[in-house]
Amino acid sequence: MIKSIYLTAVLSLIPFSLWASNEVDNRPMPLDRIEVLLGRWYEIARFNHSFEKGQDNVMAFYSRKADGTLTVTNSGWKSGKMKTANGKIKLTSTPGRLRVSFFWPFYSDYRVLMMAGDNSYALIGGSSGKYLWILSRTPEMTQRAKNRVLREAATRGYSVSDLIWVDQRYNINGAQVSEKK
């Protein structure tokens, strides 16, 4: 009887501990216009996850097709080969919260947590504290901009020490991506 009470108590704490470990403020900032996301973004830093593991020189390109649908193409280099993933984007009723699918029919949250006033960099999160990206319109950010976005992420409860800083040397040097060996 005591064992079953102990086991019940321990098992009842598991969902709480899982929830608490991912507790972050991931409320998106309201975006007036989705157009501020369109165009090329360089991935400056990210949390480690399986679908980008080992990639460097990562970029994303957001566009609107003639029919009005939104798409994203992510590209990066891994072991000397370019990896590309094409996704579809759905807008939601919450400004700043998008649904992105790279593998239909599965969609994931994409939340704009912070955007620079001039749209030069952004902090992006997911539906939990497991996903975080720092994106920039250029392959390098000033230290001041990095500090600002890191403060925002930490204030929201993200563990900024877990960020992986993406090697963007190839993009910084201005070489054509197709020329990379």
pLDDT of residue 175: 56
Query: What's this model's pTM, rounded to 2 decimal places?
Result: 0.82
Whether 63 is covered by a domain: the verdict is yes
- CATH at residue 86: 2.40.128.20
Q: What is the mean pLDDT of residues 155-179?
A: 83
Please state the rounded mean pLDDT for residues 106-135: 95
Task: Report yes or no on 7 lying in a domain.
Answer: no
Tell me the average pLDDT across 122-134.
95
* DSSP labels, the chain: -HHHHHHHHHHHHHHHHHHHHT----PPPPPS-GGGG-EEEEEEEEE--GGGTT-EEEEEEEEE-TTS-EEEEEEEEETTEEEEEEEEEEE-SSTTEEEEEEETTEEEEEEEEEE-TTSSEEEEE-SSTT-EEEEESSS---HHHHHHHHHHHHHTT--GGGEEEPP-HHHHTT--GGG--
Residue 161 lies in a domain: yes
Q: What percent of the chain has pLDDT over 70?
A: 83
* Domain assignment of residue 72, given as a range: 34-175
